[in-house]
Structure 1
C-alpha cells in the first residue's frame, strides 16, 4: 500500500519523450469504488501553494507505467522526434 503523501513527493516523467512533467498536486478518486481516477500534475513552475509558471495537466491512472521510489513513469502524448536534434 502507498500513502497519498508519498505519491505527492514523486516527480512525474513521461517515458515517450523523457521529459520531467512536474509533481502531483491533486488526486481524483472514485469514492464509491475506492479507486484513483487521475492525478493533476503541477507544471515545471515549481512546487508549493505559491508556485507560478507551468500549466497543470491531468494524468489518468491507465497512463501510469510504474511508481518508483522517487519518480512516477507515465506513457502519454507523442514520442520524441529525433529529427529535431539532427540525429
Structure 2
C-alpha cells in the first residue's frame, strides 16, 4: 500500500522520450468508484498537494507502467524524434 505522501515524492519519467516530467502536484479521485483517475504533474519541482498557478500536465492512471522506489514510469505521447536534437 502506498500513501499519498510517498507517491508525491517520486519523480515522473516518460519512457517514450526519457524526459523527466516533474512531480505529482494533484491527485484526481473518483470517490464513487474508489479509484485514482489521474495525476497532475508540475515540471517546476513544486511538490505541494494544494499548490496554485500552473495547471500542469494530466497523466491518467492507465498511462502508468511502473511505480518504483524513486520514480514513476509513464507511457505518454509520441516516440522520440531524432530531429529534436542538434547533432
TM-score (norm 2): 0.84
Query: 2:58 matched to which residue of 1?
Result: 58
Gaps of 5+ in 1: none
**TM-score, normalized by length of structure 1?**
0.84
In structure 2, what is the equivalent of residue 46 of structure 1? 45
The runs of at least 4 aligned residues of structure 1 exceeding 4 Å deviation read none
2:8–2:47 CA contact under 8 A, matched in 1: no
For these two proteins, the number of residue pairs brought into alignment is 84
Q: Gapped runs of 5+ residues in structure 2?
A: none
RMSD of the TM alignment (CA)? 2.1
Whether 2:14 is the aligned partner of 1:10: answer no
Mapped to 2, the partners of 1:76 and 1:48 lie a distance apart of: 21
